[in-house]
Structure 1
C-alpha cells in the first residue's frame, strides 16, 4: 500500500528511542560542555587580542597581575579542584544509585536520578572549567594571558560554589519525600497527556464489533517491554487506508517474539507491516512517557518496600500513599476513553487498551493493604484516601472505592485482636496517626446520599 508522504518515515521508533535515551543520559551534557568550551575559547581569545591591541590590557599589571609562576599555580589548583569534584560527583552518584535502589526501588534510577538536570548541569560545569584550565595552562609560557587567568579563576570559584550546592541538593534529593514527590510529578504529567479530557458519566458501550481480523501482524524483533506507541501516526495510517488498526498489547506489557502485535481490519490490512512495527517502541524497562500506570507501580513499590520487615518504615509508605491519593484523584477526574480512538470525522481508526479506573484503584490499594495490614498508620491513611476520593470524585467512581473500604474493614477485623485497636484503625487519618481531627465521620462519607 502506498502511504501518504507524511507517513513514509518508517523509523519513528528509532527517533523516539534516541530522544528518550538522550533525555536520560548523563554523558550528553559533558559532551556539550566540551563543544561550548571550544566556542568560548575562540571568543575569549578574540577579546584578549582586541584588548591588547586597544591598549586596555597588558600581560603584567592588569586584572589579577600574576606572574608566570603564580598563574601556573592558580591554574593547577583550578584543574585539581575540578578533577576532584568530578571524581567525587560520580563516586557519590554511584553510591546514591545503590542506596536509592536498595532503600526505595531500582525503578527510580532511570526515571529519576539519571534524568536529573541539576546533576547533569553540575557535571557539565566541572568539565567546562577543567578543560578551560587545561587549555589556558598549555598556553602559559613566557607570558601570562591575564584575561584567560582571570576567567579560569572565576570558573574555579563558580565550580567550588556549584560543588557546595550539589552536596546540599543531593542530600535533599535522596530524602523519601523528594523521591516520591518527583515520581508524583512525572505521573501527573503523563496522566494529563494520556487522558486530556474530563470524565463524564459513563454511557452504554457503543464499541463497534470488529469481527475476525483480516490480517494479524506478529512481533518479529527481539522481545521487550512496550514503551510507547505512535498513536497519531497509526490513526492517520488507518484513515488513509480507510480501515481499523487494533494494537494488541498494553503499553507496559512484555512482548515476546511471534506474539500478536496488531490486528488489521478492512483496508488497513494493506498497511506496510514494517511501518507498523516501527510505530512501536520496545525496551528493557518500563518508562513514564506513555505509561501512567508505571508511576503508580513505582510508588507502590516504594511503599511496600518501606513496609517490609527489613526496613519497617511505615511513615515513608504514608508519603507514597499521599502521592497515590493525588494521582488517583487526578485519574478519577479524567475520561479514561475506553479502547477507541477516532479520527476528526468521528470514524473508528485505532483500538488500543489502556488501564481503566478499577485497574488504577487495585494497583494503588491491594498490595499496600496486604503488606501494611498490621500497621495502624497504613490502614488509617488508606481509609482517609478512599473516603476523600468518594467525597471528591463523581458518583460513578464510587463503587470500586466502596469495595476497597469493605476489604479494608475485613483486613482490620482479621489483623487486630483488640477491639480498641480495631476502633482506632477505622478512623480515617490523612497523616496515618496524629491528623484525624476534623475528618468527616465515616458513615456520612460512605452514605453521602443520606
Structure 2
C-alpha cells in the first residue's frame, strides 16, 4: 500500500515536471530546459522519491502480510514511514517551486543569472594600456600550418592555458580561427600554427584537444549565448501569439543591469603571451560593442511597433 502511494506521488511529480518544462519551452524557448534540468532542488526531490520507492520495494522482501507481529522489523517500517512523510513535504515544496519557476520574471532572472555569473568571472578593467596594446609590437611568425577539426559541433570552451603551455614547450605560435559558441564541421579550419621545427602531428593533436567541441552551446566562455537567450525570450514575448510587453521590459531591465557591470570588466583580448612576454596564442574576440550589438540588433525591429518597450 505504501509503495503504491509513493509510486503515485512520484508519477505526479514527474508529470508536473514534464508539463512545466513543456510550458516553459513553448513560451520562452527550448534553451530554458537546460537551466531546469540542472536545478539542484528538482534533482533532490526526484531523488528522494526514487530512493523511497526503492527502499520500500526492498522492504517488501522482508515484511510479509502474514508475518507475526513479533517478527516485524519495526525499525525498517518506521524508516519507511518517515521517508513517506518526507516525500509528502518534498512534493509540496516542489509544487511551490514549479509554480514560481514558470513565472516570466523568474524565468528571466534565471537566464540573467547565467550572464551575471559569466561577467563575474571577468577581471576588473585596469587603467592604462590593455594587454592587447602591450603586445602589439611583437613580431608574428610567418608560414603558418593548418589544424583542422576532427569532430563536429559547437565549441563549448577553449583551454587557453593548456594551449599556451604546449605552444611554449614547442616554441610555437598558434593563431586560433574559432571561439566559444561557434559551430564547426568536421574538417573545418580551427587554427594555424608556426613552429621552429616545422609540422608536428603531436602538436596538432594538442591544439585539437584544447578546443572542446560538444553537441550544444553553453554559457562557458560565451557571454553571447546568455545574451542571445535573453533576446530570444524578449522576441517571443513580443510575438503575435504571446504579445506580453511586460516580459520584454523585464528582459531589457536585466540586460541594462548586466551591461552596467560588463562595462566595468575587461574582456579577454584574444592574445596570450608566456612569462617572457613572447606572444604564443592569438584568437578572435568580442568587444563590448559586439555584445551590445548582440543584445539590441534583433530587438530593435521587433520593438519598433511597441512604444512602451521603445521608451524603456
User: Could you tell me the TM-score, scaled by structure 1's length?
Assistant: 0.64
Q: Unaligned regions of 5+ residues in structure 1, if any?
A: 1-75, 382-450
Question: Which one of the candidate residues 313, 330, 336 is aligned to 2:244?
Answer: 313
- Residue 199 of structure 1 contacts residue 333 of structure 1 at CA under 8 Å; is this kept in 2? no
Q: Tell which structure's C-alpha radius of gyration is larger.
A: 1
Q: 1:199 and 1:188, CA in 2 relative to 1: closer, same or farther beyond 3 A?
A: farther
2:39 counterpart of 1:116: yes
Q: Which of residues 196, 208, 220 in structure 1 aligns to 2:150?
A: 220
* CA distance in 2: counterparts of 1:213 and 1:160, whole angstroms: 68
Q: Does residue 196 of structure 1 match 2:119?
A: no
Matches within 5 A, 1:289-368: 289-368=220-299
Pick from 40, 49, 57 the counterpart of residue 126 of structure 1. Answer: 49
SS in 2 for 1:309: coil
Aligned to 1:105: 29
**Alpha-carbon spacing, 1:130–1:339, altered in 2? closer, same or farther (3 Å):** same
Distance 2:219 2:268 in 1: 19
| Distance apart, 1:209 and its partner CA | 5.0
Query: Quick check: 1:257 aligned with 2:161?
Result: no
Would you say 1:172 and 2:136 are equivalent positions?
no
* Residues 277-329 of structure 1: per-residue CA shift (max 9 Å, x gap): 12222122211122111110100000011111111101101111122112212
Residue of structure 1 equivalent to 2:303: 372
1:241 maps to 2:165: no
State the alpha-carbon separation in 2 of the partners of residues 199 and 376 from structure 1.
Answer: 39
**Contact map agreement 1:136 1:148 (CA 8 A) in 2:** yes
Greater displacement, 165-174 / 182-191: 182-191
CA drift at 1:201: 5.8
| 2: CA distance, partners of 1:307 / 1:88 | 33
The normalised TM-score by structure 2 is 0.91
1:64-79 mapped onto 2 (5 Å cutoff): 76-77=1-2, 79=3
In the alignment, structure 1 residue 82 sits paired with structure 2 residue 12:
no
Task: Please say if residues 340 and 352 of structure 1, whose CA atoms lie closer than 8 Å, have aligned partners that are also in contact.
Answer: yes
Query: Contact 1:197 / 1:334 at 8 angstroms: preserved in 2?
Result: yes
Q: Which of 132, 136, 141 does residue 59 from structure 2 map onto? A: 136
For structure 2, the residue ranges without an aligned partner over 5 or more in a row are: none
**Which range is displaced more, 236-245 or 89-98?**
89-98
Tell me, what secondary structure is at the counterpart of 1:139?
coil
| Number of aligned residues | 302
Say which structure, 1 or 2, has more relative contact order (CA 8 Å, 6+ apart).
2
Q: Pick from 91, 106, 111 the counterpart of residue 183 of structure 1.
A: 111
Deviation at 1:211, TM superposition (A): 5.2
Distance 1:331 1:98, change over 3 A: same
Is contact 2:153-2:214 (8 Å) kept? yes
